[in-house]
Amino acid sequence: MEESIKKTEALENAPQKYLAEKFHLPVHDLKEYSPLTLAYIGDAAYEMVVRTVLVRRANQQVNKLHKMAASLVSAEHQSKMVAVLEEVFTPEEQQVYKRGRNAKAATKAKNASITDYRRATGLEAVMGYLYLKGDYDRIVDLVEMALEKA
Please list the active-site residues: 43
Q: Which of 129, 75, 72 is nearest to 107 (CA)?
A: 75
Residue 136 burial (CB count, 10 A): 18
Q: Chain centroid to CA 143: how far?
A: 8
CB 117 within 8 A of CB 124: no
